[in-house]
């Protein structure tokens, strides 16, 4: 995993404002990374944070979740930030569970809320090369 991470951004409707606010607050830290996001989320983040390289995919229920899942399976995503609303029913819940399952299977760092996302981006591994297979010595690797 290179120092510049490939990050997927997803948020349930009730969490979109939280994710946009988080991205805006951390834009300086995030600016050296590349982003893919589901439809509306990606558009909102790109508008709020023009310094970020954000590619908006399809809306989650219209295939965006599957697009991100495919990118995870292809090894093209290093980090998934998915602000989940655990209290609301979601018609595409199977897609949500698939993203969590794929992140676990392919050893992709996963943050489902702001606190975890903050811990993730403040890790010494976030801005440096890293071997997620554990082949290293636990220290951030150099490029």
**Residues labelled catalytic:** 65
Alpha carbon 103 to its chain's center: 10
Query: And the tokens for 19?
Result: 């994710």
Query: And the tokens for 132?
Result: 């997620």
| Core vs surface per residue 64-81: b (16+ CB within 10 A) or e | bbbbbbebbeeeebbbbb
Cβ atoms of 31 and 52 within 8 Å: the answer is: yes
Cβ atoms of 39 and 65 within 8 Å: the answer is: no
Exposed, middle or buried by CB within 10 Å (0-12, 13-18, 19+), for 108? Answer: buried
Classify residue 123 by its DSSP letter. Answer: S
């Amino acid at each position: 995993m290179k120092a510049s991470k490939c990050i997927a951004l997803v948020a349930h409707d009730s969490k979109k404002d939280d994710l946009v606010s988080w991205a805006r607050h951390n834009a300086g830290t995030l600016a050296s990374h590349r982003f893919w996001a589901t439809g509306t989320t990606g558009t909102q983040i790109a508008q709020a944070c023009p310094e970020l390289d954000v590619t908006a995919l399809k809306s989650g229920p219209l295939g965006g979740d599957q697009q991100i899942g495919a990118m995870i399976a292809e090894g093209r995503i290093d980090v998934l930030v998915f602000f989940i609303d655990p209290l609301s029913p979601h018609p595409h819940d199977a897609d949500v569970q698939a993203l969590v399952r794929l992140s676990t299977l392919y050893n992709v760092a996963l943050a489902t809320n702001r606190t975890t996302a903050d811990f993730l981006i403040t890790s010494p591994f976030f801005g440096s090369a890293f071997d997620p297979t554990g082949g290293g010595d636990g220290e951030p690797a150099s490029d």
